Every structure is written in structure tokens, then in C-alpha cells.
Amino acid sequence: MSAVPPGLPSTPVNPTSPAPLATDPLTTQAPPVEEMIDLPRGKELDTVAATKLQVARPVRMIVLAGPVASGKTTLLNTVNDLFQEGKIDADSFSGSMTLPAFEERCHPSRTASERAAQETGHTQLTDARYLHVRVSEVDLNLDPVDLLFTDISGETFEDARNSIPECQELTFLRTADHFLLVLDCEKIVDLKKRNKVIHEAMGILRQCLDSEMLSSSCFVNVLWAKYDWIAASNDAEHKSFLQKAMKEFQDQFASRVGKLSFTEVAARPDRGDLKLGHGIPELLKNWVVTSPGHREMKLVPEGTGDRESEKFLDRHFNAVRGS
């Protein structure tokens, strides 16, 4: 038998047989699959994640400001707890990117923590962190609304009150739709402390405005937190003091912000007859329905021209108006 010339196959090739496969599907290995799937941890959002959410869809930024132990975290915890029981008035829970973070904060106030009394953990001094809740109306008349809450320590706001550079570090203030100034009524019923409470709260708001970190269109809501201390005392003098304080807030700040309002809140009342979450349904409705960025659209123009084209528009829009 003659030798096979170099470069030719050692076995005969049948010209009618199909060409061999480049790769054998039975022996070729599939590309490796990633073992780890990056799922959201449900913890607090950092500034980068919060910014991405704001870019992705409309978000209402709600800043809770106030000194240490004024009731900011307790307010947020109670919003979560009320949704555990069902809807809050006409608003329903529609999801959260930070549900485990809410649960961590709520744990000390629950029976499972085995504490003798309800407690709320103190927010630690860290970078800005955010909690997220999505809310829908029961009748679905409006699109779901994403609410983004700041979770910032009281020390941060106390430092900002006393320092313009410290206040200018709080860049999240620039995107605030609602600025909640939380005042502690437990201290207001103390005659020695109440003037200081008002003075320090005004200092926080004034610094945020003077530093141009808070927009002049922002909606500011002064919260009389732990209002059960006022209600249970049944002292007309305490209520008179609040009235005077509200007038002072109005005189100094009403013209500098988009809207200034006041709300009595008792997130977890432990005295008197107020129920859990007193005042929170009103707050939630305000966050969902109103926003500085929301403006009523004037789709029907006023007719003022004498030209034939303008008269035609007048006739057209008069039909739209129903006249």
C-alpha cells in the first residue's frame, strides 16, 4: 500500500457524507454560570442607590430633621407598623426596597425583643441613609408614589445648626420635597426646656435656608411629636404656648418656603387616649398627594385675541369648558 501523502487524511473521505461538526454538542461544555446572584439586601439605601432611584422614576424625598431623641425614627417605624395592619386610610402599602431595614428598627419596640418597654434604637452617626416605601391608593385613582425618607442622626442636624460648612455637607436637602421639623413635646411640657426646644428647631430650619441648601419651594411641616404629653396634661397653658410658637414660625419662615404647616403627631402614645400613629394618616396623605414639583396644568387658555384664528380657538375651548 502506498504511503499517504503528507497533509491528507489517513482515512478515505466520502464526498456524499455531511461535513463533520466543528464542535460536538455532547462533549462541548456550556459557559460557566455565575454562582452568585446579586439580589437587593433590603438594607438602607446609600446616596448612590437613592440617586439611581430618583433618576429611574418620580420620587418624593422626605427629610426628617430634629435633635437627638426627638422621635424621627419612631415616626418611620410606626408608618411601617401601621402598614403591617393594613391600609392607612385610603393608602395601601405597595412595596419597599428597604423592608428588612424597617424591621431591624422596629424590633426593639416589639414583644419578640423581650424588652420591658417599647424602645427605638438611636440612629448612629453615619453617612446619609434612606428608607423606601411605595404607596398606592386603594381605588387606584393615582399612580403609585415612591417615598424616600432620610434616616439621619440628630447629632448631624445639631452640628449643621451651628456650622454653615456642616450644613452644606447635607446635599440631600437640595432634593427635599417635604422637610419635617420634629419637635419633642415631652420637653415642651417642661417649662425649663420648652423655649430651648423652639429656639433650636428654628435654628435648624434657618440654617438650612440661609445656607441655600433647602429650596424656597420646599414644603415645611413642623411636627409636634409625642403630642400625647400635651393631650394627657390637659393644660391650656401648654396649648397656648404651642399657638405662640406657631405664630413665631409663621412670622419668620412662611414667606421663605413653599408651604408651612403644623401637625400633631403621637407615633407611639403611652399616655392619654390617643391611638397608635396619631397624625400619621394626615402626614401620609400630604406626602402622597402634594409636592412642590406638582403644578396644576392649564390646558384651556384664556381667549384674548381678535384675530380670526384666535376667535376659532375661543369657540373650540368654549365647547371644552362646557359653555
**Per-residue pLDDT tens over the stretch 161-220:** 999 999 999 999 999 999 999 999 999 999 999 999 999 999 999 999 999 999 999 999
Q: Where are the beta strands (DSSP E) in the chain?
A: 59-65, 91-93, 130-137, 145-150, 178-184, 219-225, 259-264
Which residue range(s) make up the domain with 248? 47-289
Q: What is the C-alpha to C-alpha distance for residues 312 and 75, in angstroms, rounded to an integer?
A: 55
Q: Which residues does 231 contact at the CB level (< 8 Å), separation at least 6?
A: 266, 272, 273, 274
Backbone angles phi, psi at 81, to 5 degrees: -65, -40
Partners of 260 in beta bridges: 220
More confident residue, 317 or 191: 191
Please give the model's pTM, rounded to 2 decimal places: 0.75
Percent of the chain exceeding pLDDT 90 equals 61
Backbone angles phi, psi at 62, to 5 degrees: -120, 115
In a domain, residue 141? The reply is yes
User: Residue 15 pLDDT > 60, yes or no?
Assistant: no
In a domain, residue 224? The reply is yes
CA angle, 59 as apex, 58 and 60 as ends, to 5°? 130
**Per-residue pLDDT tens over the stretch 225-246:** 999 999 999 899 999 999 999 9
In a domain, residue 199? The reply is yes
Domain count, the chain: 1
In a domain, residue 240? The reply is yes
In a domain, residue 9? The reply is no
CATH of the domain at 58: 3.40.50.300
CA angle, 253 as apex, 204 and 186 as ends, to 5°? 50
3-state SS record for 132-172: EEEEEECCCCCCCEEEEEECCCHHHHHHHHHCHHHHHCCHH
